[in-house]
């Protein structure tokens, strides 16, 4: 496997080449509390806050599928390199 929790690996022939750390960031001002990211995340990285908006609760479980980023209708989820 060419990724691990909170790390991206660039792979060449299945061998690790470069490690990049990242953090999941949610822009709370843009989030409209649709719940799509919470429902789609099989790793249960997100939960709803008291306003129903998504918040990161289990970042270590992220497997970097990017489903949340790709399906967010408001483009409020992104990953930032550390």
- pLDDT, one tens digit per residue, over 14-66 is 555 555 578 899 999 999 999 999 999 999 999 999 999 999 999 888 888 99
* pTM given for the model: 0.73
Q: Which whole-number Å values give the CA distances from 57 to 1, 13, 77, in the listed order?
A: 25, 34, 14
Q: Which whole-number Å values give the CA distances from 73 to 4, 6, 48, in the listed order?
A: 27, 24, 17
Q: Is 76 exposed, middle or buried (0-12, 13-18, 19+ CB in 10 A)?
A: buried
Question: What's the topology of domain 3-81?
Answer: Alpha-Beta Plaits (3.30.70)
The label of the residue with tokens 């990953």 reads 79
Please, which pLDDT band fits residue 82 given cuts at 50, 70 and 90? confident
The per-residue pLDDT for 2 is: 33
């Amino acid at each position: 496997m060419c990724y691990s929790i909170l790390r991206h690996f660039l792979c060449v022939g299945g061998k690790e080449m470069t490690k990049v750390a990242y953090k999941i960031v949610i822009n709370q001002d843009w989030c409209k509390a649709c719940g799509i990211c919470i429902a789609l995340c099989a790793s249960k990285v997100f939960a709803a806050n008291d306003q129903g908006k998504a918040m990161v609760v289990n970042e270590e479980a992220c497997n970097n599928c990017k489903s949340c980023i790709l399906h967010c209708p408001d483009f409020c989820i992104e990953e930032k390199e550390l």
